[in-house]
Amino acid sequence: MRALLRLPTPGFPSEAATGDPTVDGFLERADRRLTGSRRIRAPYVAELSDHLWSIRDREVGRGLSPQEAARFAVEQCGDLRTWARSQRAARRRMFLVAGVTACVSNGFLLAILLILVEVPGSIPFWAATTIISGVLMGYAFGYVVGPPGLAAGIPASGEQEEFLVVHEPWVRASAVLLMLGFVAGGSISLAGGVGWGLFSDLPWPAGAFVFLVSIVGLLQLGPAAVRIRVDAEGVEYRSLLRTSVIGWQQIIEVRKEDSLVSFIRPPFGRKLRLRWQPASNGSRELFLAVDAGMPNMDRMVAVLMDHAPQG
């Protein structure tokens, strides 16, 4: 399973190499235990490399030879299984979530096709195709997407492209309307599938599937197209219609609001009040419902809270 979760990527991240054969050999073995692309594994290996080298330096300072110090450092780090297990556990979730999402999306498209046009072949054939392609899509997605909570420093480098998906009230309202439309469509399909009303010649599994997915979609509402990115400069706020950059010095207040959605985390997660001073006089306020589905939600909220003055 481990081998399956990690496609063979040539070499271990060379920037982590120290030049010491004992240390580098250990790093290579550590790297083989990790899953994901080279980009994902690199920060783990680099951190381990820095740790080993620090131990080696300390022991050389205490009088050991470089070779002895390197061996001591490797022995000190001990069991790689425990170290690698946490990385794999975080990533396993990504693979599963992505795979299931892809399966459901494929199934949804297939059901629509079954309703709208006559699809050749039997339903089991298409169902099997859906599952296989869903697993492959999930695998591809999970392979390239980083594990939660392990991105490089956001505020210091400013190079890390990391977004937090949020919902503005109007976006959420539009999404609710859209999904209600889906549910209505799904209900009609289901009714047609069981031989009642419109589309009464549909195969009923297709109608049921559309209905089910519509309900799931309504519960999830998907990531709406409002994203914020935080870096050393401030908050970049991107919605469908505009992009604003709000410098840290412009922010008056960031506050977590307690509300019902704080308790019913999915799909909205946490509500944030972001108040800032625009270039013109006065102040603007945004209420943002932070998407709980984002693996980086807690960390990004912490960044915001940490940088901005508290209300």
Partner 1 sequence: MNTDPGIDGQLLRGLLDTLVLDVLRDRPNYGFGILEVLHQRFGAEAGIVKEATLYPLLHRLEARGFLLSYQQPGDRGQARRYYRLTETGKDFLGRRMAEWKRITTLLERMMS
**Using CB under 8 A as the criterion, which residues of the chain lie in contact with partner 1 when the complex forms?**
15, 43, 46-51, 53-55, 57, 76-83, 85-87, 90, 148-150, 152-157, 295, 298-299, 301-303, 305-306, 310
Task: Tell me whether residue 208 or residue 257 sits nearer to partner 1 (CB atom).
Answer: 257
Name residues whose C-beta falls within 8 Å of residue 171's C-beta, 6 or more positions apart in sequence. Answer: 224, 225, 226, 239, 240
Structure tokens at 107: 């199934």
**What minimum distance in Å lies between the beta carbon of 229 and partner 1?**
15
**What minimum distance in Å lies between the beta carbon of 90 and partner 1?**
8
**What minimum distance in Å lies between the beta carbon of 309 and partner 1?**
11
Name residues whose C-beta falls within 8 Å of residue 201's C-beta, 6 or more positions apart in sequence. Answer: 192
Task: Tell me whether residue 156 or residue 194 sits nearer to partner 1 (CB atom).
Answer: 156
Task: Tell me whether residue 280 or residue 310 sits nearer to partner 1 (CB atom).
Answer: 310
Distance CA 205, CA 44 (A): 46
- Residue closest to 142 by CA, chosen among 88, 80, 216: 88
- The SS3 call for residue 177 is helix
C-alpha triplet 54, 57, 58: angle, nearest 5°:
85
**What minimum distance in Å lies between the beta carbon of 113 and partner 1?**
39
Task: Tell me whether residue 114 or residue 291 sits nearer to partner 1 (CB atom).
Answer: 291
**What minimum distance in Å lies between the beta carbon of 169 and partner 1?**
24
Structure tokens at 297: 């939600």
Task: Tell me whether residue 60 or residue 131 sits nearer to partner 1 (CB atom).
Answer: 60
